[in-house]
Amino acid sequence: MGFEKNMNIRITEEFQEKNLDVPKLEWFNGTLYADTNSKVEAMMIKNIIQDYTGHQVDKHLLKATPTEPWDQYAYDITNKELGGK
């Protein structure tokens, strides 16, 4: 199973376990984009990715625009291992 598909499944399962609506998830050039207006959900996604990869994840907020009236978060997996390795 591909990495992106595996991450989408893990994120979906975590949201379903917490009875939350699963945000739209889309991968592009190794970056995950998630449509959510919730800072809590955005942090959940970051933690799920970090727990799985063992690497620091940078989270970036892309604010809503007139043509795309929703917030979106972008997640980039870095080469920095958690724990400072």
**Per-residue model confidence as pLDDT tens digits over 32-74:** 999 999 999 999 999 999 999 999 999 999 999 999 888 999 9
**Domain-located, residue 54:** yes
How far apart CA 69 and CA 49 sit, in angstroms, is 26
Other beta carbons within 10 angstroms of residue 20's beta carbon come to: 14
Whether this prediction's pTM lies above 0.85 is answered by yes
**Domain-located, residue 31:** yes
CATH code for the domain in which residue 60 is found: 3.40.109
Q: What's the total number of domains in the chain? A: 1
**Domain-located, residue 85:** no
Can you give the pLDDT at residue 70? 87
Its domain, for residue 10, covers: 3-79
